[in-house]
Amino acid sequence: MATRVIIVRHGQSSYNAEQKIQGRSDGSVLTEKGHLDAEKVGNALSQIDIAAFYCSPLQRAKSTAEVIQSRLNHSPVIQPTSQLLEIDLPIWENMVKEEVKAQYPQEYRDWHQKPHEFKMILPDGQEHYPVLSLYQQAQDFWREIIPQHEGQTILIVAHNGINRCLILSAIGIPVSLYHSLQQSNCCVNVLNFTGDFGDPVQVESLNQTAHLGIALPPPRPPLQGSRLLLVRHGETQWNRDKRFQGVRDIPLNDNGKAQAEKAAEFLRETAIDHAVTSPLSRPKETAQIILQYHPNVTLDTQVDLTEICHGLWEGKLEEEIEASFPGMLEDWKNAPETVQMPEGENLQEVWDRAIACWQQIVKTYSNSDSPKTIMVVAHDAINKVILCYLLGLKPANFWNIKQGNGAVSVIDYPKGVDSQPVLQAINITSHLGAGILDRTAAGAL
């Protein structure tokens, strides 16, 4: 049975407001805003059955945990643990960020550009690698905690840095991409472990902020490049029936149209400058419904965003596929990169065309003097391979990413087309009415 892990970053702290480096300093406390946002997290989680509750012992995280606990219907005792301490930056702690930039310019550049190589020389002459040490700390936490909670839901309240390393290490994302995951104050992330640490882990969602009244996480730092909204089409009847559709042009069902309407309302106040869709009717109709509130945006179609071709699987249910192609469906679930769809595509072919298309979209619409927002509406497999690519993963990691019908993911290119993208959010489905958990149909592609 899967173990669900909900990871929350602490609320805004005094040092956050003052733009100070916190690290493991314990002088930073929750602001009034931080306290109010923690209450909102508690309200969002109040109906979830939580079996264990872990937090960092630093007061900004521990106070957040206590506020959340006060709003839960059923909550276990909070267990502070040093394995959830924030990144250790002893030389920089308590300094304003601008002071750090001025006094340690090379180290600060390394911190942002090469976090896996970033080091500090301590007063005793020892070399300290803060990000590598934190990544190891996260791995140690998972090895100890996950075996204790098979089939349960656990809640973690910690910090920006350790949360990133928890997510990176769980999925197998390279530590060099430490700065590619956003963690907003009081955000919610959801991971689903299929077994112990080292077994496959699914990212159900990353950096949800809608429960705070913030539909999409704001850019950080101020965006100079483009923002892309990656949307999966609404539900079809074949999704609901768990029938493989692939390149079959199956339209939205009534629920899918309702999901698209909810996505439209969710993105109503978001400025959208350009929009691109797969030519199949289910994403195209989803995009058209969303763009009802953005009438001046032209919708472009890109054939390379078409869903994976399942070939002879299309139109079939799982039991029919197993009868015709014994064992192949199990391979698809456990080693998707090894499967050649009969008279269809393999995952590498989908990867190559989808990534090339994505890169071209970014390049085409980022050629501007001002930041632009581009909406891309596509399919489950297409969105998954794009997100895997952006996270430094491979086709073998296909099932590590969840994409619900009507879900929205947010990707920023903070310094332009050639900069390292930042995954601001993955698989936001809260606008569909099910709270922080993805309750969309778990159907076939």
- At 442 the pLDDT is 75
- The SS3 assignment for 50 reads coil
How high is the mean pLDDT of the chain?
A: 96
Decide if pLDDT at 443 tops 80.
no
Give me the sign of the Cα torsion angle 360, 365, 366, 368. Answer: positive
Per-residue model confidence as pLDDT tens digits over 363-409: 998 777 788 999 999 999 999 999 999 999 999 999 999 999 999 99
Provide the annotated binding site for substrate: 232-239, 282
- At 161 the pLDDT is 98
d(CA 153, CA 2) in angstroms, rounded, equals 9
Per-residue model confidence as pLDDT tens digits over 87-101: 999 999 999 999 999
252: its two tokens:
């939205």
Helix axis angle for 130-145 and 160-171, nearest 10°, is: 60
Q: Indicate the pairing of strand 422-428 with strand 299-301.
A: unpaired
- Residue corresponding to tokens 């180290």: 107
Q: Is the peptide bond before 221 cis (omega within 30 degrees of 0)?
A: yes
**Strand extents, DSSP E, 355-428:** 373-378, 408-412, 422-428
Give the pLDDT band (50/70/90) at residue 74.
confident
Single out the residue of 99, 96, 95, 59 nearest to residue 80, CA to CA: 59
Give the pLDDT band (50/70/90) at residue 288.
very high
With a CB cutoff of 8 Å and minimum separation 6, the contacts of 102 are: none
Per-residue model confidence as pLDDT tens digits over 90-147: 999 999 999 999 999 999 999 999 999 999 999 999 999 999 999 999 999 999 999 9
- At 369 the pLDDT is 77
Decide if pLDDT at 253 tops 70.
yes
Instruction: Report, as residue numbers or ranges, the catalytic residues.
Output: 233, 307
With a CB cutoff of 8 Å and minimum separation 6, the contacts of 334 are: none
- Which domains occur in the chain, in start order? 1-210 (3.40.50.1240), 224-426 (3.40.50.1240)
- At 92 the pLDDT is 97
Give me the DSSP letters along 77-108: PEEE-GGGPPP--TTTTT-BHHHHHHH-HHHH
- Residue 163's Cα: distance from chain center in Å? 12
- At 1 the pLDDT is 64
